[in-house]
Chain A
Amino acid sequence: MGLLREGKLSADREIITGLLQLLDGLRSILKTIEAEDAEGEGEDAVLIGRLIELQAPAQAQSKKPVHARAGASSASSAPASVPPPAPAPPAPPPQDEIQPGQAEIEPEQAEPEPDQPAALATPPPAAAVPAAVVSATVQPPEPLPAAAPASKVSAEAESDAARPRIQGTAAESTLRVDVTLLNRMMNLVGELVLTRNQVLQATSADPNMTMLSRRLDMVTADLRESVMKARMQPVSNIFSKMPRIVRDLSQSLGRRVRLQVEGQDTELDKSLLEAIKDPLTHAVRNSLDHGIEPPEVRQTAGKDPEGTLKLRAAQEGSHVVIEVSDDGAGVNVERVRQKAIERGLITPDRAAHLVERELLQLVFLPGLSTAAAVTNVSGRGVGMDVVRTNVEKIGGKVEIDSRTGKGTTLRMRIPLTLAIIPALIVRSVNQSFALPQGALSELVHIPPEQAAAAIEWIEGAPLYRLRGKLLPLVFLDRLLMPGAEHKIVTERDNFIAVLDADGRRFGLVVDGLADPEEIVVKPLSAVLKDIGLFSGATVLGNADLALILDPGSIAMKAGVTMREEEEAAHAVEGETGANAAKNLEYLLVEAAGRQAAVPLGDVLRIEQLPLSRIEYIGYRPVLNFEGQLLPVEDSGGVLDAAQGNPEAQIIVVVCREGNRHVGVAVSHVLDVAAGGDLFEAGTSQRTGGVTLLKSRVTGVVDLGGVAPLPAGEQAPPEWSQTEETVA
């Protein structure tokens, strides 16, 4: 072991494998000790034998046999020295806290590559094994200093030096808290949020009371945020397991892989972190097995024989994006097409019409695998389907992007937290129900007089023609109260909530819509859970209870299933909203005769209001919107054009930009459409960008360019426009 450290023995793959096996052995010994208070019989001898074996070539090469022998004996005594677990430095669990400290301990040995967590003077149980980076060029530090007497002294000296620092920063300032306690706190805070909502609604004319409730509002918001933060954990908790997986797999598959990890300190709610562990592991396995080719193949293709697997985590608004990308062969789209036809997942006819990007989405269908042979790693065709189901279960989304010969990127978008979800409150059977917005794609209103024409029937099954496609409708009132009398569609307002549930698309018809609300999910008792339609209940701001609808089960209950062919088509269609090519949905607006697009994800609401509501600070138009000043962007000249007419109504699209809101004045809101990217993926930039909307190049409004209010006057950004968008 000392040899390694002194550079006498270069860390080749053999040795690292041996050391890792040894580590596993030591871990199991430690476990036995913990369990039985005595050293298990185990296969110490095997391990020792392996160590000596590894040492042997080094001895042969070594110019100082004496030293080498000393090293060998110390190494072989390593397992024996474990039983008293005392020498093992600090407790294993807070791995991530120990590592940074130790990263500093041995920089000279680690030769760290900037993107690799190359540090390991870690005690055996805590060894997070960054050494698993499969690169012959890297000299991994040894994983077992504490166990080897020869290096123990130095290791201890080092950790002694480091320990005060580590403890000072991490151990003393952190606290381990029971998760159930945190959950309870979360619950109580949720409760406080509800009470706050009620207080805010009930606030009387007393100005004192108004002030107090405002303060309560602020404190509650802060408190909620802190408690949420307390549940957050860095993704490094799961990322740190990956190097070992990558290493073991790449060895057994004969691949050479370099692992790059980015954004380790991105934080995610603990329960969500648990939930994405399996999908992530699967994605990594997939990349290794199907993505990165064997070294020889790579060399022939003119690529670096060593493949790169990149794990990246980053926060994007209220989501965390986790990407697994490799520079391997990419998904063979033709194979996907063939396989899909072979398995009867889509018809040949349909397959012929699908473009590459659409075909890619097929890999998420159950039963599809492009692997020629089923290995013990993958190829059974259940993988990606499960990845998608798992991620969607927690309200996330999975996208895949692949370029033949260049690599594949799997992108998972995970919401930051589970406990509080945005929902739309809908009314039916004289009650309020909460519809999670994750499943909601759009809303359609059909007034009574149009209902007869708009809703079509096939043998009693209601359908709605949504942009030329038939959408099955489910009437919530009929579903909830079978047998009871219901108003026919022509006698009431029909609101269709177009839902996307587990790949099933249908319209849920409700009697009315109320505001969107952030709701705190409360569990239901088992008796009510058995009904199957409700996933929970919540208390609304007005103290009413509302049941939370579960779109998936509603689809099941109402018998909304799709022919597989449709499902495949849908899988494609559904993903276009935010799919692999980074397609965003845009709100198409018209301002003073020109068309422009606003990213739909940023749009909070659309307000129609009289021009007189617009006030000016200096020359800047602002809108007093729910008690807050909203800077209004008017580079389209809508306000100026309407200036002469005091009766004029203008439309303001309220958007989210970073952590502030801005308004965009427009004359019409035209449509919602998915934008096509005009740039190659990777170089696409959104600000001031253009997008392909309905086959026209349309400028995207640069929300970031709207000057903040307190700041001085800035030149308003132009509607970015190209010559193709001639109005």
Chain B
Amino acid sequence: MSTAAMAVSRKEKTAALVEMCSVRLGSALFGVPITHILEIVGSARPQPVPLAPVFVGGLVHYRGDVLTTVSLRQLLDMPPKDGPQDILVLESSGGCFGLLVDSVGEVLTVSSADHEPNPSILDGRRRALFAGAYKLKDSLLVMLNPEQLDPMRLGAAQA
């Protein structure tokens, strides 16, 4: 993750530090590198799109454009959540899209020394979405791969 990382050398000798925005989904903790995040939109209610692929969380109005959102819950086969959700506006090669999560937490600075690759027991789909995990003091921060969350890519993968 050196490309996405904001390398700040502190007391660790060689390990780079990465700033991750932590997001919650139920009890799980996920991280998105902040360099990919354009903006965080709080408590939005996306407009559902009938007949859209399941992973599409709906549409939101964002700075004059209509943004397609991806529901992380749907992607991970979790039951949908009622009430407003937070949206991370992410930038990818295909344009902007929103990522619907339960709530956005603080920005954590993690060290690449704590990074471990995806465990081999993960299923193929998740292995593509995740980019390893960071070991925190008392939990794991699962790193998401923003490129893989792009609705276009997901749409193509599904088809």
Q: Which residues of A contact B (CB under 8 A)?
A: 187-188, 190-191, 194, 429, 431, 480-481, 522-528, 530-531, 533-534, 536-539, 543-547
- The answer on a CB contact under 8 Å between A545 and B64 is no
- The answer on a CB contact under 8 Å between B60 and A545 is yes
Residues of A within 8 A of B51 (CB): 480, 531, 533
What are 16 contact pairs spanning A and B, CB under 8 A? A191-B63, A429-B50, A522-B65, A524-B68, A525-B68, A525-B152, A526-B155, A527-B52, A527-B155, A528-B52, A528-B56, A531-B51, A537-B59, A543-B61, A545-B60, A546-B47
- The answer on a CB contact under 8 Å between A480 and B50 is yes
Tell me how far the C-beta of B19 lies from the nearest C-beta in chain A, rounded to whole angstroms: 28
Per the bound structure, the CA–CA distance linking A530 and B68 in Å amounts to: 13
What 8 pairs across the A-B complex have the smallest Cβ distances? A480-B50, A191-B64, A525-B68, A545-B47, A527-B155, A537-B66, A522-B66, A527-B151
* B26 part of interface (Cβ distance < 8 Å): no
Residues of A within 8 A of B65 (CB): 522
* B38 part of interface (Cβ distance < 8 Å): no
Residues of B within 8 A of A527 (CB): 52-53, 56, 68, 151-152, 154-155
- The answer on a CB contact under 8 Å between B152 and A187 is no
Residues of A within 8 A of B49 (CB): 528, 531, 534, 547
* B97 part of interface (Cβ distance < 8 Å): yes
Query: A525 with B64: in contact, given A429-B50, A480-B51, A531-B52 (CB under 8 Å)?
Result: no
Q: Beyond A429-B50, A522-B66, A525-B151: 18 further Cβ-contacts under 8 Å?
A: A187-B64, A190-B64, A191-B63, A431-B47, A524-B66, A524-B68, A525-B95, A526-B94, A526-B152, A526-B155, A527-B151, A530-B155, A531-B51, A536-B66, A537-B66, A538-B66, A544-B47, A545-B66
Tell me how far the C-beta of A498 lies from the nearest C-beta in chain B, rounded to whole angstroms: 22
* B117 part of interface (Cβ distance < 8 Å): no
Q: What is the interface of chain B mostly: helix, strand, loop, or mixed?
A: mixed
- The answer on a CB contact under 8 Å between B61 and A539 is yes
Per the bound structure, the CA–CA distance linking A539 and B94 in Å amounts to: 23
Q: Which residues of B contact A (CB under 8 A)?
A: 47-53, 56, 59-61, 63-66, 68, 94-95, 97, 151-152, 154-155
Residues of A within 8 A of B66 (CB): 522-524, 536-539, 545
Tell me how far the C-beta of A212 lies from the nearest C-beta in chain B, rounded to whole angstroms: 22
Nearest residue (CB) in B for A532 is: B51
Tell me how far the C-beta of A79 lies from the nearest C-beta in chain B, rounded to whole angstroms: 50
- The answer on a CB contact under 8 Å between A481 and B50 is yes
Nearest residue (CB) in A for B152 is: A526
Tell me how far the C-beta of B152 lies from the nearest C-beta in chain A, rounded to whole angstroms: 5
Per the bound structure, the CA–CA distance linking A530 and B66 in Å amounts to: 16
Per the bound structure, the CA–CA distance linking A545 and B56 in Å amounts to: 15
Per the bound structure, the CA–CA distance linking A539 and B60 in Å amounts to: 9
Residues of A within 8 A of B59 (CB): 528, 537, 545, 547
Residues of B within 8 A of A187 (CB): 64
- The answer on a CB contact under 8 Å between A545 and B155 is no
Per the bound structure, the CA–CA distance linking A437 and B63 in Å amounts to: 27
Tell me how far the C-beta of A199 lies from the nearest C-beta in chain B, rounded to whole angstroms: 15
Tell me how far the C-beta of B64 lies from the nearest C-beta in chain A, rounded to whole angstroms: 4
Per the bound structure, the CA–CA distance linking A70 and B84 in Å amounts to: 86
Residues of A within 8 A of B95 (CB): 525
Residues of B within 8 A of A536 (CB): 66
Per the bound structure, the CA–CA distance linking A190 and B49 in Å amounts to: 23
Residues of B within 8 A of A480 (CB): 50-51
Tell me how far the C-beta of B7 lies from the nearest C-beta in chain A, rounded to whole angstroms: 33
Nearest residue (CB) in B for A477 is: B50
Residues of B within 8 A of A481 (CB): 50
Tell me how far the C-beta of B40 lies from the nearest C-beta in chain A, rounded to whole angstroms: 19
- The answer on a CB contact under 8 Å between A188 and B48 is no
- The answer on a CB contact under 8 Å between B52 and A545 is no
Per the bound structure, the CA–CA distance linking A555 and B152 in Å amounts to: 26
- Residue of A190, A431, A524, A531 touching B48 (CB-CB under 8 A): A431
Per the bound structure, the CA–CA distance linking A35 and B61 in Å amounts to: 46
Q: Which of A481, A522, A536 has the most CB of B within 10 A?
A: A522
- The answer on a CB contact under 8 Å between B52 and A525 is no
Q: Which of B50, B56, B65, B151 has the most CB of A within 10 A?
A: B50
Nearest residue (CB) in B for A543 is: B61
Residues of A within 8 A of B97 (CB): 525
Tell me how far the C-beta of B65 lies from the nearest C-beta in chain A, rounded to whole angstroms: 6
